[in-house]
């Protein structure tokens, strides 16, 4: 997915949604702009649109993909639509691999999956949007383990905080899906309640 100028987009949305904008310099620049300019009051629609864009860019999915996730949750008439939407986005294979720390960005882990480096239950999967389920085991394809992408895997993952729904086995570089992702306690740069309001208009 072609995103465009990331600094410009992140400044417009007021959130460090890209890895390259998660720096002290960007934070300082954003805070300075807030004091230099009095922010314009946004309409409900404008706020909904902004939150939707934050979520979509965070996960790096197209508008078509994102709307499909949201509409599926709405049609399901779930009692916990916000958590269901969060879980659907988190259960993407590219996101799960990112959560393990195999890549610095979701864009990088999306390429890992697309190029056939990642396996599910021992079988190669090349679809970044593949939905991982409880009991699935994520691994690195044997032929890819010596690739430069993974030679420093222990160093890359040493400071990664793996979410509770993933059980990472460091010695084997595999992870088991032990539960469904839950929004409780998750650090969010966007409000999924407002995102759902946008699509319910």
Q: Between these two residues, 188 and 90, which has the higher pLDDT value?
A: 90
Task: For 6-88+187-199, give the CATH class.
Answer: mainly alpha
What whole-number distance in Å separates Cα of residue 172 and Cα of residue 7?
A: 37
Of the segments 35-39, 133-137, 152-156, which one has the largest average pLDDT value? 133-137
CATH no. for 92-177: 3.10.290.10
DSSP summary character for residue 43: P
Residues of the chain with CATH 1.10.1050.10: 6-88+187-199
Q: Which two tokens stand for residue 183?
A: 């929004």
Region 47-55: what's the mean pLDDT?
A: 92
Q: What pLDDT shows up at residue 2?
A: 45
Q: Between these two residues, 15 and 178, which has the higher pLDDT value?
A: 178
Q: Can you give the pTM of this predicted structure?
A: 0.81
User: Which residue do the tokens 């990112």 mark?
Assistant: 98
**183 neighbors 164 (Cβ within 8 angstroms):** no
Q: Which two tokens stand for residue 122?
A: 């021992």
Give the dihedral sign, CA 28/29/30/32: positive
pLDDT of 14 higher than 50: yes
What whole-number distance in Å separates Cα of residue 198 and Cα of residue 171?
A: 44
Residues of the chain with CATH 3.10.290.10: 92-177
What would the pLDDT profile of 71-130 be if each residue is shown by its tens digit? 999 999 888 999 999 999 999 999 999 999 999 999 999 999 999 999 999 999 999 999
């Amino acid at each position: 997915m072609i995103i465009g100028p990331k600094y410009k987009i992140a400044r417009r949305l007021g959130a460090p949604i890209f890895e390259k904008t998660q720096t002290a310099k960007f934070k300082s620049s954003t805070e300075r702009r807030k004091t230099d300019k009095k922010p314009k009051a946004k309409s409900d629609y404008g706020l909904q649109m902004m939150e939707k864009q934050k979520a979509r860019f965070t996960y790096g999915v197209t508008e078509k993909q994102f709307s499909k996730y949201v509409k599926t949750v709405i049609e399901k008439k779930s009692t916990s639509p916000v958590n269901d939407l969060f879980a659907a986005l988190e259960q993407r294979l590219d996101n799960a691999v990112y959560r393990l720390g195999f890549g610095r960005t979701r864009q990088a882990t999306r390429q890992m999956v697309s190029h056939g480096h990642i396996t599910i239950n021992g079988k190669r999967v090349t679809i970044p949007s593949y939905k991982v389920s409880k009991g699935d085991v994520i691994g690195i394809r044997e032929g890819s383990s010596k690739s430069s992408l993974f030679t420093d895997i222990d160093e890359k993952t040493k400071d990664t905080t793996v979410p509770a729904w993933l059980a990472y086995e460091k010695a084997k570089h595999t992870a088991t899906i032990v539960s469904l992702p839950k929004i409780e306690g998750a650090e969010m740069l966007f409000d999924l309640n407002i995102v759902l309001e946008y699509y319910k208009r």
